Amino acid sequence: DVQLVKSGGNLVKPGGSFRLFCAASGFNSSHAWMSWVRQAPGKGLEWVGLIKSQTDGGTTEYAAPMKGRFTISRDDSKNMFYLQMDRLKIEDTAVYYCASGALWDKGTLVIVSS
Amino acid sequence: QSALTQPPSVSGSPGQSVTISCTGSSGDVGSFNRVSWYQQPPGTAPKLIIYEVTNRPSGVPHRFSGSKSGNTASLTISGLQTEDEADYYCSSYTTINTWVFGGGTKVTVL
């Protein structure tokens, strides 16, 4: 099956860090652009950022609220994608999705709370 | 980049057609044919139903169609069915190489 599977969520204190993993299976993810999208409880979707394929430069782009705090990376040898979140704020509490085109994972809840 | 503007809710009876608008600017919807639409039933992950303004991924019913005029994109559901009740989001690529979502529209089948 073609799918994206992500690591579990967590409860993190404000100012802390957390890393999400997204594993791709069933397709050659080295050519894929991977986006991260989040959804705060009861709210709409918010684009977090993306990483392009290495053939397209492997560069990253971020939404303004995440720039400088979040880092997206990839390891094509492992078909893995990562979202490193630093200096977390309470307002970063959300379900986080990794997504590539029509392929989305089921979402992971990250709670930032003291 | 400001969120795209969608109506909070639309409703219709089974069999009717409903249209959801998605208004952006020349910095996003108006500059690219890279508008997507997502369907999200309660408690589930979003599902891509339209990409590049008018294209449907495999398996998406033909009653879902997309269009664009100027800075506004639209999603039309023709022949509304009860299983279409969900939240719908548009998204667009932007001139600053980011993506932006709309605020979402709740579709209610009466």
CB contact (8 A) between residue B102 and residue A44: yes
Residue B2 pLDDT exceeds 90:
no
Residue A94 pLDDT exceeds 90:
yes
Residue with tokens 């073609």: A2
Phi-psi region of B104 (alpha: psi -120 to 50; beta: other; left: phi over 0): left
Work out whether the CA dihedral B103, B81, B79, B45 comes out positive or negative.
Answer: positive
Comparing CB atoms, the residue among A45, A64, A106 nearest residue B89 is A45
Residue B6 pLDDT exceeds 90:
yes
Q: How confident is the model at residue B1 (pLDDT cuts 50, 70, 90)?
A: low
Give the mean pLDDT of A33-62: 96
Q: Is A101 on the interface with B (CB under 8 A)?
A: yes
CB contact (8 A) between residue A105 and residue B91: no
CA distance A57 to B54: 28
pLDDT of residue A5: 74
Per DSSP, the three-state class of A92 is helix
CB contact (8 A) between residue B46 and residue A104: yes
Q: C-alpha angle with apex B76: B72 to B82, nearest 5 degrees?
A: 140
pLDDT digits (tens, 9 = 90+) for B8-45: 999 999 999 999 999 999 999 999 999 999 999 999 99
Q: C-alpha angle with apex A63: A66 to A30, nearest 5 degrees?
A: 95
pLDDT digits (tens, 9 = 90+) for B49-102: 999 999 999 999 999 999 999 999 999 999 999 999 999 999 999 999 999 999
Percent of chain A past pLDDT 90, that is, above it, reads 82
Residue A2 pLDDT exceeds 90:
no
Q: Is B27 on the interface with A (CB under 8 A)?
A: no
Q: Would strands B9-12 and A18-25 be described as parallel, antiparallel, or unpaired?
A: unpaired
CB contact (8 A) between residue A45 and residue B48: no
Q: Exposed, middle or buried, A68 (CB in 10 Å: 0-12/13-18/19+)?
A: exposed
Q: What is the mean pLDDT of chain A?
A: 92
pLDDT of residue B81: 97
**DSSP string for residues in A7-70:** ---EEE-TT--EEEEEEEESS-GGG--EEEEEE-TTS-EEEEEEE--GGGT--EEE-TTTTTTE
pLDDT of residue A58: 95
Comparing CB atoms, the residue among B97, B99, B103 nearest residue A35 is B99
Q: Is A23 on the interface with B (CB under 8 A)?
A: no
Phi-psi region of B35 (alpha: psi -120 to 50; beta: other; left: phi over 0): beta
Per DSSP, the three-state class of B82 is helix
Comparing CB atoms, the residue among A47, A62, A102 nearest residue B101 is A47
